[in-house]
Amino acid sequence: MAAGTMTFAPIIPWPLLALAFVAVLGFTSWTLVSRGRSQPRRTWRPEALRCAAVVLLLLAALRPGWAGGQAETATADLDVFFVVDTSTSMGAEDYNGTGPRLSGVKQDVMAIAKELAGAKFSLITFDSKASVRMPLTRDATALQTGMTTLQPQNSRYAKGSSVTGAAKLLKERLAAANQQHPGRPALVFYAGDGENTSAEAPAPMDTGNVAGGAVLGYGTGEGGRMKESADPDAGYVKDKTTDNPQDAISRIDEGQLRAIAEQLHVPYAHRTGNEPPSHMLGQARPGAMTVMTHDAPGRVELYWLLASAAFLMAIHEPLRHFTALQSLRSAARKEPTT
């Protein structure tokens, strides 16, 4: 980007800005034409100033700027793999009170991504089967979109899940990343409740060496009920092992989670919603989190000039009314009383 080049970084999508421009100009033109038939031209000034103020604000929303200078940026030289349990039990309502466990996972994943800005992120989920929801990418927005759309598996399709159901897929992804960038550190953050509903015992989490990460546990010993699906009107999963089915209760299995942490050689952290993100990151081998800083092209923002001009035009209206009100009060005081 050459120095002195005008660039734009709109805060809202271009089509919406264009639509707003058309709406403002159209409404103002219609108002001026309508009033012009019955009122003198000098009354157009307030309408014109209001229109100009809005147009300037819309231009400011384009965030115009000049390229120039240098800005220091930080990049985490890491591959970060999020392995998230999306089985039905992750909808159990015992996170930070009565919230679903998966809501806590979403918050923690995005908090980690924010702390490791510039790293490459991958999202792997597992329930009855494991899948790569997002391959390695630096696009944190894609990660946020992926996490936002995650929902616990519908109980109707649940066939039992293993707490290490993603082990094979994770191992393959780690090997592929290492082959592409040999020596680049890889972190693994496993998020789940440790509840194994598969008929088979969990296979070892044999993924090879990872540079760091953490196993994050969600849920409580008392447990919580879970909805049959993500539909707000869905009923709760029933325990049908008795003659009088009651709401099924899912409980965290920290023994399983600690075993997975040992196999991955990373720490275990129980997440209840009361601990800051630094609590889990502080244990996740911070020495492995290499952060590189470098200079990148800077940018001189100009939106504030347009916003200031809009403010000066907009303030004319209340000042005009204030002056008129003061004149009326002054005239009232001078009017002789009978």
Give the model's pLDDT for residue 118: 86
What token pair was written down for 126?
């597992």
- pLDDT digit string (tens) for 88-99? 999 999 999 999
- The chain-wide mean pLDDT, for the chain, equals 82
CA dist 171 → 30, 186, 206, 217 (Å): 65, 11, 7, 21
Give the model's pLDDT for residue 130: 95
Tokens 């995650």: give the residue.
150
Where in the chain is CATH 3.40.50.410? 78-289
Give the model's pLDDT for residue 67: 65
- Cβ atoms of 264 and 81 closer than 8 Å: no
Any idea how long the chain is?
338
Q: 44-61 and 303-314 are packed helices; what angle lies between their axes, rounded to 10 degrees?
A: 160
- Cβ atoms of 245 and 182 closer than 8 Å: no
Beta-bridge partners for 300: 66
pLDDT at residue 3 greater than cutoff 50 = no
pLDDT at residue 202 greater than cutoff 50 = yes
Give the model's pLDDT for residue 296: 44
pLDDT at residue 71 greater than cutoff 50 = no
Give the model's pLDDT for residue 333: 66
- pLDDT digit string (tens) for 213-258? 999 999 999 999 999 988 888 999 998 777 788 999 999 999 999 9
Give the model's pLDDT for residue 54: 82
CATH number for 78-289 (one of 3.40.50.620, 1.10.150.130, 3.40.50.410, 3.30.930.10): it is: 3.40.50.410
- Cβ atoms of 226 and 93 closer than 8 Å: yes
> DSSP character for 336?
P
Q: What is the pTM (predicted TM-score) of this model?
A: 0.64
- Cβ atoms of 301 and 60 closer than 8 Å: no
Distance of alpha carbon 216 from alpha carbon 90, whole angstroms: 13
